Amino acid sequence: MGGEVESIGEAVSRAEARSALAWWIEAGVDSLVQEAPRDWLKPAASLVREDKPSSEVPAAPPAHETLEEFRDWLATSDHLPMASRTARRVLPRGPEHAAVMLLAEAPEDGSGPIGGEAWELAKRMLAAIHIPADQAYAAALSFFHAPGARMSPAEREALGEIARRHVRLAAPRRLILFGDGPSLALTGKRLAEARGHVHKVEGVRTVATFHPRHLVNRPLDKSLAWQDLLLLMEDEG
């Protein structure tokens, strides 16, 4: 895998190593994929009910100077797209200046931006690129779990602007866009067109790839997702 690699802050644990091996096997990686060693991690850089109808798209969010202020706004604002009486608010999680930020479209349950079996697979994907899950920042375009709700083009545009501010304040080293929605909102391209290229979102090295839920249901695409992860971790040059 391009040389001996240490995780940020501590060596990869046995459990993380086993998780990485599990992902590599699932992705069909059974041999070295690169000849020269590299520095993989070289720096570049509550449940709340809302009464607001989801059809009303709010104005741009207020300016925030810190991630803490921004997250407080996410936790309390009555003016977020996709809010409704039945929607459950799901907040982002992870550290500022994370090794990588993961951005999905909408929470699939109330457990987090990426939940359940999809999150377990996401953790194995992170382990495969030597990033512990607790050093990743997980978020979604929408901050609400609302089964059956559809995101309108206007809502997607508004959430895309919020996501850009989110990336700027969270300041991750790298960014993964999981699925068609985040790819369209932040690169202007659908996943099929955005895959295989490096993008810059607020100055952050970015790739688009399949949502882990898709990979759970379509395991043959894991090898393609592995290619995207390799592209993400290429040296900046």
Q: Is residue 53 pLDDT above 50, yes or no? A: no
Average pLDDT, the chain: 84
Q: How confident is the model at residue 47 (pLDDT cuts 50, 70, 90)?
A: very low
44 three-state secondary structure: coil
* More confident position, 93 or 36: 93
Q: How confident is the model at residue 227 (pLDDT cuts 50, 70, 90)?
A: very high
pLDDT of 169-210, one tens digit each? 999 999 999 999 999 999 999 999 999 999 999 999 999 999
| Number of other CB atoms surrounding residue 128 within 10 Å | 24
138 three-state secondary structure: strand
109 three-state secondary structure: strand
Radius of gyration of the chain (CA): 18
192 contacts: CB under 8 Å, gap ≥ 6: none
Q: Is residue 39 pLDDT above 90, yes or no? A: no
pLDDT of 134-160, one tens digit each? 999 999 999 999 888 889 999 999 999
Whether domain 91-237 has CATH 3.20.20.70: no
pLDDT of 17-26, one tens digit each? 777 777 777 7
- Residue % of the chain over a pLDDT of 70: 78
131 three-state secondary structure: coil
Q: How confident is the model at residue 78 (pLDDT cuts 50, 70, 90)?
A: confident
Q: What is the pLDDT of residue 79?
A: 86
* More confident position, 20 or 214: 214
pTM score of the predicted model: 0.79
Q: What is the pLDDT of residue 234?
A: 93
Closest CA to 175 of 186, 160, 184: 186
Q: What is the mean pLDDT of residues 95-101?
A: 98
Q: Is residue 72 pLDDT above 50, yes or no? A: yes
Q: How confident is the model at residue 222 (pLDDT cuts 50, 70, 90)?
A: very high
* More confident position, 110 or 160: 160
Q: Is residue 40 pLDDT above 70, yes or no? A: no
